[in-house]
């Protein structure tokens, strides 16, 4: 075994699945906070790749402060219009000059934001429905760690920071996470009236699960109030179907419950996101690194999106602890709930955390001792390969929100 300070203990609470009340939330990809997370992370990935291409290593940057100021829209059955554009400001630091080279950090950021929006939030016409501006200060050149094409060093922790991951997902978590993914995937493909701003709140009390969905409908594809009502019902049935694949508990799905048809107050949008009308957003205010907001579990406050994947310990440890948790549950049987916490130690390499705390609830009939060694081996191995996280973030393979 390694020298790493890995502690494996029973968790000091019941498995989330066994708690009486559970709350789970996910802000879909078109939610104003998620738009900010998505752009911040897209910009970060683009910068990292460009640095590698141009100078062979990732230079200092941090772009985790995108701010979205909502626009104003006038939706209408059959197609309304955006009245005042959304304003989005990409904020952060980036190295612009390095060994005689000039790196066009702001242009890279704008290109990345545009590509991201055009791919993920396609109903927002870039430069018309949304104005994207950028203010990237000069990063300090002496902060970078070596993370190059040819050589990779494990960076030193320069901060006391903390990451946390969980596995397996509870049924409610699975439902919320997958319903959003599939609504924004197969469902939207077939039903173009569904906007990207889908917010799901799952609440379980005992064996009763309520899923509340707020789904922005796109006016161009909704002819009238009847079509709207049908659209709402289709979403409801779809989420119900998704839910039934993940649980035998009773599930109630509610869609756009704040609607008031009498008053004509419905969730109709021009662009499929509430950012068009009154809902501002910013990075780190929505989903945690595993895609969910889970008050029943420990969460890190740190924004993961937009941070530099080479040397930001909070980002690396949040992603790594989630990876570890999933890996352990994949490979080791008998685990009902698992929490991984990684705490950095200033001045030591990040593959040697101050402590790696693994808290476990085992299945009935399984003792901690039965799984301990396997778990520790996985944790040790994942820590040894911490720079894989960085590599995968740079390649855009890991989601951060």
Measured from the CB atom, the residue of 78 and 137 that comes closer to a copy of itself is: 137
Unique residue bearing structure tokens 């002819």 = 223
Measured distance CA(256)–CA(199) in Å, rounded? 10
**Smallest separation (angstroms) from a copy of itself to the CB of 379:** 16
137 is in an annotated binding site: yes
Q: How far is CA 2 from the centre of its chain?
A: 32
38 is in an annotated binding site: no
Measured distance CA(68)–CA(87) in Å, rounded? 6
Q: Give the residue ranges of DSSP H helices in 146-206.
A: 171-182, 188-190
Parallel, antiparallel or unpaired: strands 101-102 and 281-282: unpaired
366, with CB counted inside 10 A (0-12, 13-18, 19+), is middle
Q: Is 282 in the site for a copy of itself (CB under 8 A)?
A: yes
Q: Is 374 in the site for a copy of itself (CB under 8 A)?
A: no
Stretch that binds a copy of itself, among 126-134, 170-178, 242-250, 328-336 (CB under 8 A): 126-134
Measured from the CB atom, the residue of 211 and 335 that comes closer to a copy of itself is: 211
Q: Is 99 in the site for a copy of itself (CB under 8 A)?
A: no
Where does 295-365 show beta strands of DSSP type E? 335-343, 355-362
The answer to whether 150 and 104 have CB atoms below 8 angstroms apart is no
Measured from the CB atom, the residue of 21 and 330 that comes closer to a copy of itself is: 21
Stretch that binds a copy of itself, among 134-142, 332-340, 367-375, 379-387 (CB under 8 A): 134-142
**Smallest separation (angstroms) from a copy of itself to the CB of 12:** 4
Q: Which positions from 79 through 98 interact with a copy of itself, judged by CB under 8 A?
A: 81-85, 87, 89, 91-93, 96
Q: Which positions from 197 through 236 interact with a copy of itself, judged by CB under 8 A?
A: 201, 203, 212
Give the largest Cα separation in the chain, rounded.
Answer: 68
Answer for which of 206, 278, 367, 397 binds a copy of itself (CB under 8 A) is: 278
Q: Is 141 in the site for a copy of itself (CB under 8 A)?
A: no
Answer for which of 2, 77, 106, 221 binds a copy of itself (CB under 8 A) is: 106
Q: Which positions from 156 through 185 interact with a copy of itself, judged by CB under 8 A?
A: 158, 160, 162, 164
Q: How far is CA 383 from the centre of its chain?
A: 22
Q: Which two tokens stand for residue 354?
A: 């101050």
142 is in an annotated binding site: yes
Measured from the CB atom, the residue of 66 and 399 that comes closer to a copy of itself is: 66
**Smallest separation (angstroms) from a copy of itself to the CB of 243:** 17
Q: Is 128 in the site for a copy of itself (CB under 8 A)?
A: yes
Q: Which positions from 288 through 307 interact with a copy of itself, judged by CB under 8 A?
A: 288, 293, 295-296, 298-301, 303
Q: Count Cβ atoms below 10 Å from residue 362 Cβ, excluding itself.
A: 20
Which of 213, 205, 302, 303 shows the shortest CA–CA distance to 257? 213
Which of 352, 46, 27 shows the shortest CA–CA distance to 195? 27
141 is in an annotated binding site: yes
Q: Which positions from 315 through 354 interact with a copy of itself, judged by CB under 8 A?
A: 341, 343, 346
Q: Is 137 in the site for a copy of itself (CB under 8 A)?
A: yes
Residues in Cβ contact with 130 at an 8 Å cutoff, skipping those fewer than 6 apart = 71, 85, 86, 87, 88, 117, 124, 275
Measured from the CB atom, the residue of 12 and 189 that comes closer to a copy of itself is: 12
**Smallest separation (angstroms) from a copy of itself to the CB of 307:** 12
Stretch that binds a copy of itself, among 125-133, 236-244, 310-318, 384-392 (CB under 8 A): 125-133
Q: Which two tokens stand for residue 320?
A: 């790594």
Cα–Cα separations (whole angstroms), residue 15 to 142, 178, 287, 318? 45, 21, 21, 20
Using DSSP, state whether 59 is helix, strand or coil.
coil
139 is in an annotated binding site: yes
Binding map of a copy of itself across residues 36-75, x = CB under 8 A, - = no contact: ----------------------------xx-x-xx-x-x-
- Do you know the residue count of the chain? 401
Binding residues for ATP: 137-142
Binding residues: 137-142
């Amino acid at each position: 075994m390694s020298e790493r300070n890995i502690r494996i203990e029973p968790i000091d609470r019941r498995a989330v699945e066994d708690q009486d009340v559970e709350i789970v939330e996910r802000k879909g990809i078109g939610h104003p906070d998620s738009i900010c997370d998505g752009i911040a992370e897209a910009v970060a990935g683009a910068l990292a790749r460009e640095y590698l291409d141009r100078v062979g290593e990732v230079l200092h940057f941090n772009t985790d402060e995108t701010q979205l100021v909502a626009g104003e829209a006038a939706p209408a059955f059959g197609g309304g219009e955006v009245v005042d554009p959304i304003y989005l400001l990409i904020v952060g630091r980036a190295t612009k000059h390095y060994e005689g080279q000039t790196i066009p950090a702001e242009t890279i950021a704008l290109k990345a934001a545009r590509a991201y929006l055009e791919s993920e939030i396609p109903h927002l016409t870039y430069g018309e429905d949304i104005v994207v501006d950028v203010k990237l200060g000069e990063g300090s050149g002496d902060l970078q760690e070596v993370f190059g094409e040819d050589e990779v060093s494990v960076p030193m922790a320069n901060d006391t920071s903390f990451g946390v991951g969980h596995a397996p997902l509870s049924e409610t978590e699975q439902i919320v996470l997958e319903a959003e993914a599939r609504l924004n995937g197969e469902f939207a493909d077939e039903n173009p009236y569904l906007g990207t701003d889908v917010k799901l709140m799952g609440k379980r009390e005992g064996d009763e699960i309520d899923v509340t969905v707020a789904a922005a409908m796109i006016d161009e594809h909704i002819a009238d109030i009847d079509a709207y009502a049908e659209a709402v019902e289709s979403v409801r049935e779809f989420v119900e179907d998704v839910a039934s694949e993940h649980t035998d508990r009773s599930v109630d799905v509610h869609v756009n419950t704040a609607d008031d048809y009498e008053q004509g107050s419905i969730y109709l949008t021009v662009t499929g996101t509430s950012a068009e009308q009154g809902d501002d957003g910013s990075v780190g205010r929505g989903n945690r690194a595993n895609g969910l907001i889970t008050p029943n579990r420990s969460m890190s406050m740190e924004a993961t999106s937009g941070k530099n994947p080479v040397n930001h310990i909070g980002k690396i440890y949040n992603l790594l602890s989630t990876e570890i948790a999933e890996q352990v549950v994949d490979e080791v049987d008998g685990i009902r709930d698992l929490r991984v916490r990684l705490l950095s130690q200033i001045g030591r390499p990040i593959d040697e955390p101050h402590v790696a705390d693994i808290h476990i609830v085992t299945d009935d009939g399984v003792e901690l001792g039965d799984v301990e060694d396997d778990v520790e081996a996985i944790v040790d191995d994942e820590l040894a390969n911490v720079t894989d996280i960085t590599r995968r973030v740079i390649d855009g393979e890991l989601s951060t929100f």
